[in-house]
């Protein structure tokens, strides 16, 4: 072994590569003829998502289509990733509403604090993961877009068992 190859001492009667090869061929042949696949045909078949799966956001709306958000400012305060931009305003009745409400889904870490802290149950995470877009700008969801989402709200806890007992 002029090029310094380390020769491993195999125990006497040890590994037989002829048998191992034949065994391997038999194994692959068995898999070849067994008609099972573990593939999921993705766009047609999808995962059944857990109700607590935390995906892209969704804003709850009133029956007349207004966002439930009262622009209290708790969610941008608690957000650890600092991804929520909120500019509050007041309408003629003196009710606060969000003039600008944007969530940068790239920055978001999907911790769910915004949903937890929201006093009016307006902002929610959603059971949703197919968030692909053609440009980076599209990942900043504005208020209109957040209201338009129609996937399920994430349940941060099981309503039957809120303390996970």
Partner 1 sequence: MGPLSTTAFVIIGAVKVIVIFTLWLLAVAGVTLAERKVAAWIQDRSGPNRVGPWGVLQPIADGLKNFVKEETRPADSSRLLFMLAPMMSMFPAFVVFAVIPIAAPLTTPWGTVNIIIADLPVGFLFILALASLGVYGLVLGGWASNSKYPFLGGVRASAQMISYEVALGLSLVPILMLSGNVSLPEIVSQQQETLWFVLPLMVGYLFFTVAYFAETNRPPFDMPEAESELVYGFHTEYSAMKFAIFMMAEYSNMIVASALMATFFFGGWDIPFWVGDNMRVAAGGVVVGAAPAWWITLLTAASFALKTGFFVLLFIWVRWTIPRFRYDQVMSLGWKVMIPALIAYIVVLGVAMLLLEASGVQVDTTYMLWLTGLNLIGVLVIIFWLDRKRVIVGSGWKQFRPQETR
Does 6 sit near partner 1 (CB under 8 A)? no
* Gap between the Cα atoms of 22 and 18, Å rounded: 6
Does 19 sit near partner 1 (CB under 8 A)? yes
Does 46 sit near partner 1 (CB under 8 A)? no
Which uninterrupted H or E stretch holds 13?
none
Does 31 sit near partner 1 (CB under 8 A)? yes
Give whichever of 15 and 163 is closer to partner 1, judged by the CB atom.
15
Rounded to the nearest 5 degrees, what angle is found at the Cα of 101, between the Cα atoms of 125 and 120?
55
Does 20 sit near partner 1 (CB under 8 A)? yes
Pairing between strand 123-126 and 96-104? unpaired
Choose which of 6, 11, 132, 136 interacts with partner 1 (CB under 8 A): 11
Closest approach of partner 1 to the CB of residue 1, in Å? 8
> In terms of C-beta density within 10 A (0-12 exposed, 13-18 middle, 19 or more buried), how is residue 164 classed?
exposed
Start-to-end C-alpha separation, the chain: 66
The contact set with partner 1 (CB under 8 A) reads: 3, 5, 11-21, 23-25, 27-29, 31-32, 34, 36-39, 41
């Amino acid at each position: 072994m002029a090029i310094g190859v380390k020769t491993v001492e195999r125990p006497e009667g040890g590994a037989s590569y002829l048998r191992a090869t034949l065994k391997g061929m038999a194994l692959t042949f068995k898999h070849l003829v067994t008609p099972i696949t573990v593939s999921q045909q993705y766009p047609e078949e999808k995962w059944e998502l857990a109700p607590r799966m935390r995906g892209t956001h969704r804003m709850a709306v009133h029956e007349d289509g207004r966002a439930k958000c009262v622009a209290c400012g708790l969610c941008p305060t608690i957000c650890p990733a600092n991804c929520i931009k909120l500019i509050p305003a007041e309408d003629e009745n003196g009710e606060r509403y969000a003039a600008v409400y944007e969530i940068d889904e790239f920055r978001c870490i999907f911790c769910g604090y915004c949903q937890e802290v929201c006093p009016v149950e307006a902002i929610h995470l959603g059971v949703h993961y197919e968030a692909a877009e053609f440009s980076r700008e599209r990942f900043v969801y504005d208020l209109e877009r957040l209201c338009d989402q129609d996937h399920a709200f994430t349940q941060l806890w099981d309503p039957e068992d809120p303390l996970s007992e």
